[in-house]
Amino acid sequence: MNRLSGAEALVRMLDLYGVRHLFGLCGDTSLPFYDALARLEHGIHHILTRDERHAAYMADAYARVTGRPGVCEGPSGGGATYILPGVVEANESSVPVLALNTDISVGARGRYALTELDQRTLFRPLTKWNGVVERAEMLPALLRRAFREMTTGRPGAAHLALPFDVQKAPVEDDEIWADARHERCPACRTAPDAAAVEEAARALLSAERPLAICGGGVVSSGAEAALLALAERLDMPVATSISGQGAIPETHPLSVGVVGSNGGTLETRASVEAADLVLFVGCRAGSVTTERWRHPVPGEVRVVHIDVDPAVIGANYPTEAAVVGDARLTLEALLEALADLPPQDRKSRVEIAAMRARKFAGFRERATSSERPIRPERVVAALQTVLPEDAVLICDPGTPCPYFSAYYVQRRSGRHFISNRAHGALGYALPATVGAAIGRPDARCVGIMGDGSFAMACGELETIRRLELPVTLIVLANGSFGWIKAGQKTGFGGRYHAVDFSRSDHAAIARAFGLCAFRIEDPAALDGTLRTALAHDGPTLVEILTQPLEEARAPVSEWIA
């Protein structure tokens, strides 16, 4: 019987699970693993990053655009603490990410070894599943468990710790096998209960003004076609959360667009208030999508809720009909239950067209402004003009997210908009653009960030240049942490404190890393400069001096109110 080392077994197992990209950063405890990667034949391309947090963000975006688990790795100690923000973001966003951290030897525990910490305890509350490979022979089974947990039920993140001595200990070759069902997500889909589907169908049929609010679960499950067919059968408007963008093309006459306190507008809020029944699909009905559970008002609107996670249903709203199941299978079952129903005509398309006209009237006025600094709306309009339909936009949660989720019209269904909505950490968009570009190399990937976010991640410009990724980065520069400053204005009497920083020449920084870079101060130069940047055959960065967020009219309901 042949034997492998633990490190060799790990490489073989990852290869068997179809892992083709591994994002990570080297460290002392990872030496056996790196040596195995260097010696063995496999199909894994290791992407050296400049920070473990960014490795996890890359894996997150990679998983979102591919449907395959994203895998990141790092060493012990600081490597584990640095990788953690990206892991918890993926887990709370229901994204399958596997984080591998090597660790000190089992025999060194409790002896004040350098970089010692309890990885199992650290990651337990922040992952769907985590484990420590205490003995080398456990590794194959634990890795299979990790892939199973990431891809079944509600997707999420897994973490596995690999001590140094375990990486060098033997593993029997006949234990090295993978379960092909768990190479993609969702795996082993959960079918809905027939009686629950019938109950949901009856509720939808009895509603006069139903509205669907769809979260990321629709896109993750590939339920877009079934959703569209159901919406057209019922003449039912479809709104989305930010993560749910792509559930329906936003050019479709039944698309309301994004609702909620971030990216929603007073016009889209009115569409929610007009509904007598809300169908939540793959959506947790959290604080942002519902404007802190005020739109819709709990108890004042009927609710049908579809989710693969039974714990989500009924957490925030009394639910008339609850269906636990995969979004695609459940919507297809609903369509079957309504097969004899002739297409409805509730005049929804006329109402949505009027709502859109009101929503975009104010936007167009600001989007054509020649003011300096440049209005964010004008940047949105320019990118809408120059980007292809299949472009992938990766937006940080500060200035870019509300503007682009509200006003950039997604012309296709599927995952074309990414933002880290679970915890909203700055510094996400730049590394996530790397992961998206590697996962979807045929699409133009554009990372959009504020200058505060740029400063947290600009070391990865070297990674982008080294890989020669054909991405375009947009930096909206306003010299402050604008989201917080706007909150200080609207909620705290404009008492600004610790939110302003000195301006940097971001284009010059990008050129120093070897990127082709541009700086725009005149709005008239936007279209031409963006076209030039997008036509370049290598990575580019465009810095745009923009209006401060506290002076703007961002689509954030609390500020507008």
Domain locations in the chain as residue ranges = 3-182, 194-350, 368-560
Cβ-based burial of 339 (10 A; exposed 0-12, middle 13-18, buried ≥19)? exposed
Three-state SS at 457: helix
Assess contact for 324 and 190: CB atoms under 8 A.
yes
pLDDT digits (tens, 9 = 90+) for 496-530: 999 999 999 999 999 999 999 999 999 999 999 99
Q: Find where tokens 């989720």 sit.
A: 405
Once rounded to an integer, what is the mean pLDDT over residues 356-384?
Answer: 96
Task: Give yes or no for residue 342 having a pLDDT over 90.
Answer: no
**Rounded (5°) CA angle 489-493-496:** 55
pLDDT digits (tens, 9 = 90+) for 244-278: 999 999 999 999 999 999 999 999 999 999 999 99
Its CATH architecture, for the domain 368-560, is: 3-Layer(aba) Sandwich (3.40)
Would you mind telling me the total number of residues written for the chain in this entry? 561
Helix pair angle (139-151, 6-16), 10° resolution: 30
Q: Which of 413, 379, 317 is nearest to 527 (CA)?
A: 379
pLDDT digits (tens, 9 = 90+) for 118-151: 999 999 999 999 999 999 999 999 999 999 999 9
**Is it true that 194-350 and 368-560 share their CATH fold?**
yes
| Single-letter amino acid code for the residue at 63 | A
* Nearest-angstrom CA–CA distance, 132 and 120: 6
Assess contact for 479 and 503: CB atoms under 8 A.
yes
Task: Give yes or no for residue 1 having a pLDDT over 70.
Answer: no
Starting at the edge strand found earlier in the chain, the sheet holding 45-48 runs 45-48, 21-24, 70-74, 97-103, 157-163, 129-132
**In 10 A of CB 467, how many CB atoms?**
16
Tokens of residue 291, six digits: 């404007």
CA distances from 259 to 69, 204, 322, 458 (A): 29, 21, 22, 32
CATH topology of domain 194-350: Rossmann fold (3.40.50)
Tokens of residue 476, six digits: 């909206």
* Nearest-angstrom CA–CA distance, 360 and 532: 28
* Nearest-angstrom CA–CA distance, 438 and 366: 35
Assess contact for 264 and 245: CB atoms under 8 A.
no
CATH class of 3-182: alpha beta
- pLDDT at 561 (0 to 100): 60
The DSSP code for 216 is: H
- What is the pTM assigned to this prediction? 0.97
